[in-house]
Amino acid sequence: MRLRRQATMFKDTAVESLTLSIELFNRPSALARDHAVVMMLAHSFEMLLKASIYQHRGSVRDKGDQLSHSLARCLEISLADLGTITSEEKALLTAIKQDRDAATHDTIMMSDDLLWLHMRAGITVFRRLLQDEFDVDLANVLPNRVIPVSAAPPADLHELVEQELETVRSLLAKGKRRTAEAAARLRPLLSLDGSATGRSDRPTDAEVQRAERALRGNAPWQAILPGLATLQIGTAAPGGDAQEVVLKIGKDKGAIPVRRAASGEEAEALAHRGVSPFEEYSVKLSSFGEKLGLSRHEGYALIETLALKGDDRAYFVKRTANGGVIYQGLSARALELGRKALQDPSMDLQTIVQQYQQARSRKKGSRKR
């Protein structure tokens, strides 16, 4: 395989960042260990995914964007467009991304077992991607002696979660005054929980506090972290070392069904994960076409054809009491739906534009009457 020059640079940087992440994990000093490990681990995956995307597409920017893809965007492209990662791998990498965000903007604390699980599961994904996408064996660029090893690696994720939450409960006990430490330990768990349910942003302070209240109320952890209840530790594919693991999304008998909260239900959820609609639905309708390589008018036509305004995961509108529009926007899901539609051979852009124009003309005519 002949690699593009930029893809090679991304790939080499990814290996360097992974190596540094492992060195930070293995070093005897605990100084800034949790924060530094997840920061470099997340950077290694952003670089590796960009290497893959650049090799496939020759670009790591969406049309109309000035900056290269974020890690979240890389994950979307790799799963939905290129199919280079699985949904289970995306869940893990999203959790690592959220941990990176929390470590950058807040504080996190992880037990050795939880940090090791992130590292080893991450290395499993990295190793497969490097082999499948670039025909490079990780063992040839990363000596086994630097691989993080645990004397007693955790085999049951749910048992590990229970141990973590027991520590958090002890920190929240009356008279302890250690809520800051409890919050730092909860953030990685909430990140992993959110990633299993499709969240890509870090947990907010309000969400951490809601989880703390639920723990003080002795709520079952499966109700507090329903996404985590769907995850399991599995063995890696043949060819890895003895301690290589993967995270799998399964249906545990103790798992609680997870769904998107309806309006007004947020306060009732034990660990509801919310996100600002202005961040999630940040794509203006007028720029939708441009981001897909279309004209503004073609973008509007595609919005109508795909009925995006009827999909609450793709479209958001905030109105006044009288029904006037204060804000409306589209999400990353809308862009993905648009890209998939344009790749469909049966999609005739000229026809849908004509239909859109005819529908607008009929609407204007009915208003005049």
pLDDT at residue 79 is higher than 80: yes
What are the helix (H) ranges across the chain?
5-26, 33-57, 71-76, 87-105, 112-134, 138-141, 157-171, 179-196, 205-216, 221-224, 277-280, 285-291, 296-305, 332-343, 349-368
Q: What percent of the chain has pLDDT over 70?
A: 81
Contact 119, 50 (CB under 8 A): no
Continuous segment of H or E residues that includes residue 232: strand 231-235
Sequence spans of domains, the chain: 5-268, 278-368
pLDDT at residue 171 is higher than 90: yes
What are the helix (H) ranges across 62-198?
71-76, 87-105, 112-134, 138-141, 157-171, 179-196
333 vs 53, higher pLDDT? 53
Distance (Å, rounded) from C-alpha 93 to C-alpha 107?
19
pLDDT tens digits, one per residue of 247-299: 665 544 444 344 444 444 444 444 444 445 666 677 889 999 988 889 999 99
Dihedral pair phi/psi, residue 276, rounded to 5°:
-60, 125
- CB pairs under 8 A, 24+ apart, for 59-68? 60/10, 62/291, 62/335, 63/290, 63/291, 63/292, 63/293, 64/287, 64/290, 64/291, 65/291
pLDDT at residue 246 is higher than 80: no
pLDDT value at residue 136: 94
Dihedral pair phi/psi, residue 84, rounded to 5°:
-90, -15
Chain position carrying tokens 């003309």: 361
Chain position carrying tokens 């979307």: 76
Averaged pLDDT for residues 203-208: 88
**What average pLDDT does the structure give for the chain?**
83
pLDDT value at residue 196: 75
The 3-state DSSP class for residue 315 equals strand
Averaged pLDDT for residues 8-24: 95
Q: What percent of the chain has pLDDT over 90?
A: 42
pLDDT value at residue 144: 59
332 vs 31, higher pLDDT? 31
Mean pLDDT lowest among 56-65, 109-118, 232-241, 303-312? 232-241
Closest CA to 148 of 279, 239, 25: 25
Confidence of residue 232 (pLDDT cuts 50, 70, 90): confident
348 vs 148, higher pLDDT? 348
pLDDT value at residue 245: 58
pLDDT value at residue 126: 94
pLDDT tens digits, one per residue of 107-133: 999 988 889 888 888 988 999 999 999
pLDDT value at residue 7: 96
Q: What is the dihedral of CA 4, 6, 8, 10, to 10 degrees?
A: -140
pLDDT value at residue 81: 80
Sign of the torsion angle spanned by Cα atoms 211, 216, 221, 222: negative
Averaged pLDDT for residues 300-324: 90
Contact 356, 301 (CB under 8 A): yes
Query: What does R_g of the chain's alpha carbons equal in angstroms?
Result: 23
Distance (Å, rounded) from C-alpha 23 to C-alpha 157?
25
Confidence of residue 156 (pLDDT cuts 50, 70, 90): confident
pLDDT value at residue 148: 60
Confidence of residue 348 (pLDDT cuts 50, 70, 90): very high
Confidence of residue 339 (pLDDT cuts 50, 70, 90): confident
Sign of the torsion angle spanned by Cα atoms 85, 87, 89, 95: positive
Distance (Å, rounded) from C-alpha 354 to C-alpha 140?
57
Averaged pLDDT for residues 84-97: 88
Averaged pLDDT for residues 88-109: 90
pLDDT at residue 338 is higher than 50: yes
pLDDT value at residue 270: 44
pLDDT value at residue 322: 85
Residue 231: beta bridge partners? 249
pLDDT value at residue 242: 43
Pairing relationship of beta strands 231-235 and 245-249 according to DSSP bridges: antiparallel
